[in-house]
């Protein structure tokens, strides 16, 4: 029996280390990406398109990668290929000359995420029993988001104190991504017997509880538009009375706060869901996002923005940790990877549509309307999840 780290399998910790480095790289890019897009001529619709397609279209691969990982004797190769692809296309993104180049590079970079996410989450579930699954996902998300904190802080230091331009920072971030790959040498996955999973692109074979959960998570995907609108909202607020560079630095600083809160809370939130029930904790996250969006729609002070970015971090800690674990609980064991792939695909498609709607509303009616839209969709998702909790005796 392999050693444990904080009560969970060392394999989970290794996957967390890979995610730490990968997110360090990604989060050096992410706070600068909306400003890079606007500098290359993109507006609200372009940001919604890049954000939505980047995180959504690539998610279409996850139903296939989840199925493949169920059928193959090992999930590890798919996870490894996904991380390699992401590392390569980050270099292309850094060399973009127009926002359309960013669109292509971002989508291709996220294809790597589409390949790895469902098999990796299934691996985490495989390496943990149900009573500790929330903690296992929480540890992974905590390490993942600790990398996000390090990356966003690094960008803040490089951009403000060392006065580097955006493009050199993006190139450095792309190079760092390759440092995550050697960790796969230590990841030990036993070979599994052949599984009877089938390609799952319909709801056939899943319980009514999983279907209702899928509806709720997909509805929340419509609300959960790209993070770039939150950063732009902060930048626009600080534009008055500040230089452009000071406004960008202030927005990045708030994004660092978001990542710190997310990282600190991911593990305890996962453990809390083991005790209180994942459905109830996830519903609380949906309702909190609704409240956060209402706040962003009316934010009129830096103090309120500080609070709101903190709440945004709490929401991400709850949703990103608990939603995956809850999906694992409701899915059949033999089709866990396929079920996760289906969940990621449905929510990814919803994010595409939600981000496009958000971008159109941003350009045509202003930022407040964008956030009111997000609040409304999140409210519906939370209500559906509460109904699921009332209909089910499942507490995890």
Which tens digit of pLDDT belongs to each residue from 238-295? Answer: 877 778 888 888 999 999 999 889 878 877 887 777 777 788 889 999 999 999 999 9
Reference 259, options 16, 20, 8, 34; nearest CA is: 20
> What is the bridge-based pairing of β-strands 8-9 and 4-5?
antiparallel
**The predicted structure's pLDDT at residue 110:** 85
Cβ pair 113, 58 in contact under 8 A: yes
Rounded CA separation 90/100 (Å)? 15
Cβ pair 362, 226 in contact under 8 A: no
**The predicted structure's pLDDT at residue 230:** 94
Rounded CA separation 229/216 (Å)? 23
CATH code 3.20.20.220 for 8-181+206-391: no
**Long-range residue pairs from 96-103, CB within 8 A, at least 24 positions apart, any chain:** 96/36, 96/40, 97/40, 98/40, 98/41, 99/37, 99/40, 99/41, 99/42, 99/46, 99/50, 101/40, 102/33, 102/36, 102/37, 102/40, 102/42, 102/50, 103/46, 103/49, 103/50, 103/53
Cβ pair 89, 105 in contact under 8 A: yes
**The predicted structure's pLDDT at residue 199:** 55
Cβ pair 360, 95 in contact under 8 A: no
Cβ pair 54, 107 in contact under 8 A: yes
**The predicted structure's pLDDT at residue 90:** 92
Neighbours of 206 (CB within 10 A): 19
Split the chain (396 residues) into runs of 10 and give each run's mean pLDDT.
61 84 91 91 86 76 71 78 89 90 89 82 74 72 82 90 89 91 78 58 69 90 91 87 83 90 81 79 93 92 93 91 79 68 80 90 92 95 87 50
Question: pTM for the whole thing?
Answer: 0.79
DSSP state at residue 204 = T
- In three-state secondary structure terms, 179 is helix
Per-residue pLDDT tens over the stretch 188-228: 766 666 566 555 456 666 777 888 888 999 999 999 888 99
**The predicted structure's pLDDT at residue 373:** 96
Neighbours of 271 (CB within 10 A): 19
Reference 259, options 211, 313, 299, 304; nearest CA is: 313
**The predicted structure's pLDDT at residue 285:** 93
Cβ pair 49, 226 in contact under 8 A: no
**The predicted structure's pLDDT at residue 391:** 66
Domain residue ranges in the chain: 8-181+206-391
């Amino acid at each position: 029996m392999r050693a444990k780290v904080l009560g969970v399998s060392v394999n989970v910790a290794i996957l967390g280390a890979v995610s730490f480095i990968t997110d360090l790289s990604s989060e050096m890019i992410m706070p600068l990406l909306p400003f890079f897009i606007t500098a290359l001529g993109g507006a609200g619709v372009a940001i919604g398109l890049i954000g939505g397609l980047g995180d959504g279209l690539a998610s279409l691969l996850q139903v296939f990668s989840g199925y493949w990982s169920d059928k193959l004797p090992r999930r590890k190769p798919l996870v490894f290929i996904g991380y390699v692809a992401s590392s390569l296309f980050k270099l292309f993104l850094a060399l973009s000359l127009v926002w359309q180049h960013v669109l292509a590079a971002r989508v291709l970079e996220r294809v790597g995420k589409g390949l790895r996410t469902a098999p990796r989450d299934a691996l985490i579930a495989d390496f943990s029993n149900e009573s500790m699954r929330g903690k296992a996902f929480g540890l992974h998300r905590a390490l993942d988001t600790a990398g996000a904190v390090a990356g966003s802080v690094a960008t803040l230091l490089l951009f403000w104190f060392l006065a580097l331009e955006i493009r050199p920072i993006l190139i450095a971030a792309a190079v760092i991504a390759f440092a995550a790959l050697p960790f796969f040498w230590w990841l030990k996955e036993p070979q599994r017997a052949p599984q009877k999973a089938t390609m799952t692109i319909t709801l056939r074979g899943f319980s009514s509880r999983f279907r209702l959960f899928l509806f709720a998570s997909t509805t929340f995907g419509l609300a959960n538009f790209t993070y770039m609108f939150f950063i732009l909202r902060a930048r626009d607020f600080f534009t008055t009375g500040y230089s452009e560079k000071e406004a960008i630095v202030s927005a990045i600083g708030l994004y660092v706060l978001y990542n710190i809160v997310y990282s600190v809370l991911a593990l305890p939130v996962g453990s809390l869901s083991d005790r209180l029930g994942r459905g109830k904790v996830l519903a609380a996250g949906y309702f909190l996002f609704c409240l956060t969006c209402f706040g962003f729609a009316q934010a009129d002070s830096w103090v309120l923005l500080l609070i709101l970015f903190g709440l945004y971090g709490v929401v991400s800690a709850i949703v990103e940790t608990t939603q995956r674990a809850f999906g694992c609980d409701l899915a059949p064991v033999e089709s866990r990877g396929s079920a996760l792939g289906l969940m990621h695909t449905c929510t990814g498609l919803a994010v595409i549509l939600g981000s496009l709607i958000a971008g159109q509303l941003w350009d045509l009616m202003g930022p407040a309307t964008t956030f009111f839209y997000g609040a409304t969709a999140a409210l519906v998702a939370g209500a559906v999840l509460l109904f699921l909790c009332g209909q089910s005796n499942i507490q995890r």
